[in-house]
Amino acid sequence: MANKNTNLLNPIELLDIYGMPYLNDIERREYFALNKAELHAMKNFKNTQEAIYFAVCLAFFKIKGTLTSFSYRDITAERQHLIERYFPDDSIPKSLPKNRSTRTRIENKVLTLCNYQRYTNKLSEKLTKELSKLAPNYPRQRQLCKALLDLLTKKRISIPAYTTIQDIVSEVWNTENNRLVSSYIRYTNKKQRDTVPFRRGSLGINFF
């Protein structure tokens, strides 16, 4: 039985995917150089607070491929840069949008502009089925995790929370492992199984 708490990604990989990016001045100028559609979307927000949140979400998403969490204090330099660059007549907002629905609306705009979808339960079902077809080629959970991340990128789906990744990989791996055990029992006799014993969850192979 797979443990969904298995370390599918190491600390560096987790930080690379989920950690907030820290930009220098040159990178800020690059990632906040909005195209016409992005600039139009930013200017259409009803206040500077929402516009700033949108621009930061957009830049971070382009870097990470996931909707990165960040606090007001985390983006001091980014706020200053955006105000000076796009809102020189406005003051820096004193907070980020606090309402969850407002944040979701802004994040969905980011995903639309980047031609991505937000991860949903419906998409999860499709991904699980596709990953199950690939599972025979990836006997280790870590390999299966990488295959899932590749699928998310290929289908332009925002990377969900790590716990969700763990749940999907665990489910697919357990299903594939049970299939292998069933096949082993079906196509071997007792003498063969006594000669080549197996432990449920491994079949003599290190799947982890």
Q: Given this model, what pLDDT does residue 85 score?
A: 97
Q: Identify which of 24, 28, 35, 37 has the alpha carbon closest to the alpha carbon of residue 56.
A: 28
Q: Given this model, what pLDDT does residue 207 score?
A: 37
Q: Given this model, what pLDDT does residue 181 score?
A: 66
Q: Given this model, what pLDDT does residue 203 score?
A: 39
Q: pLDDT 10s digit of each residue in the chain, 208 long?
A: 445 556 899 999 999 999 999 999 999 999 999 999 999 999 999 899 999 999 999 999 999 989 999 999 999 999 999 999 999 999 999 999 999 999 999 999 999 999 999 999 899 999 999 999 999 888 889 999 999 999 999 999 999 999 999 999 999 988 887 776 666 666 566 666 566 655 544 434 433 3
Q: Where are the domains of the chain?
A: 12-113, 119-195
101: left (phi > 0), else alpha (psi -120 to 50), else beta? alpha
Q: Does residue 133 contact residue 161 with C-beta atoms inside 8 Å?
A: no
Task: State the Rg of the chain over Cα.
Answer: 23
Alpha helix (H) residue ranges in 157-205: 162-186, 190-195
Structure tokens at 90: 């406005």
Q: Does residue 48 contact residue 87 with C-beta atoms inside 8 Å?
A: yes
Q: Given this model, what pLDDT does residue 190 score?
A: 64
Q: How far apart are CA 1 and CA 4, in angstroms?
A: 9
Q: Given this model, what pLDDT does residue 185 score?
A: 61
What 3-state DSSP class applies to 89? coil
Q: Given this model, what pLDDT does residue 180 score?
A: 65
Measured from the Cβ of residue 175, the count of other Cβ atoms closer than 10 Å reads 15
Q: Given this model, what pLDDT does residue 39 score?
A: 96
The answer to whether the predicted template modeling score (pTM) of the entire model surpasses 0.85 is no
What 3-state DSSP class applies to 104? helix
